[in-house]
Amino acid sequence: MTRLFTEFPKRIADITTQLTTQGIPLTAPLTPAAPPDPDDPWGSKHPAPPVDRTTLAWYTAVQMLADHHHTAIERQILAADTLLRELGVRGLAQLHSDLHHGAPIDYRFTRCPYCGGLGEDPTLPDCREVGCPPQYEFADHPHICPVCEGADYQPEWFAKKRVTERDRWLATSLGNRPGRTSWYRRMSQRFRKRR
């Protein structure tokens, strides 16, 4: 696990060197506030905050977008900036879902793009940054990942558990409804013939 935590700074360093060699600033500039629109009373009148492009969250967002669209990282810079400006780190979960056509992501089976399946916040924040209660400040406790919310990535264990539950449900449904047993058998035979 220590190896994974040392891997994150290396990833950030790789992206940082790519940005600096191409002359792209490491901090997204402040975008000016839009002029007030009388037709849009809910429009923002404040400038958008700058985005630090040397964070793991920004790196994760730009890498996910570049991998999904099969483009270079520099083509996805503005999209990653916008995502972190509007939604923050928790927006990575929304981005991950959007890239899968809006399907919900089960992080027990899919590796979290931010923490890599650890379930802990990979930036290792202290209790003051996270806002833990004072009684936890001296206890050695992990802070859960803000994207997968501490999901325990164990696809082998959860898959076996899910298959066992499905078999149990199927057995009880077949046992309680003897008239439908033949229908289930006919359907399973049809599916087997198609293979």
pTM for the model stands at 0.67
**Could you read off the pLDDT of 50-77 as tens digits, one per residue?**
888 888 999 999 999 999 999 988 899 9
CB contact at 8 A, 77 and 66: no
Q: How many domains does the chain have?
A: 2
Nearest Cα residue to 51 out of 34, 23, 29: 29
Split at pLDDT 50, 70, 90, the class of 33 is low
In this structure, is residue 145 part of a structural domain? Answer: no
Strand partners, 27: 52
Which of the listed residues 89, 113, 137 is the one where a domain comes to its end?
A: 113
Same domain, 96 and 177: no
**Could you read off the pLDDT of 148-186 as tens digits, one per residue?**
998 888 888 777 777 777 777 777 776 655 555 566 666
Residue 4 CA to residue 125 CA, distance in Å, equals 16
Which of the listed residues 113, 141, 169 is the one where a domain comes to its end?
A: 113
Same domain, 10 and 89: yes
Give me the mean pLDDT over the 135-143 stretch. 74
Boundaries of domain holding 59: 2-113
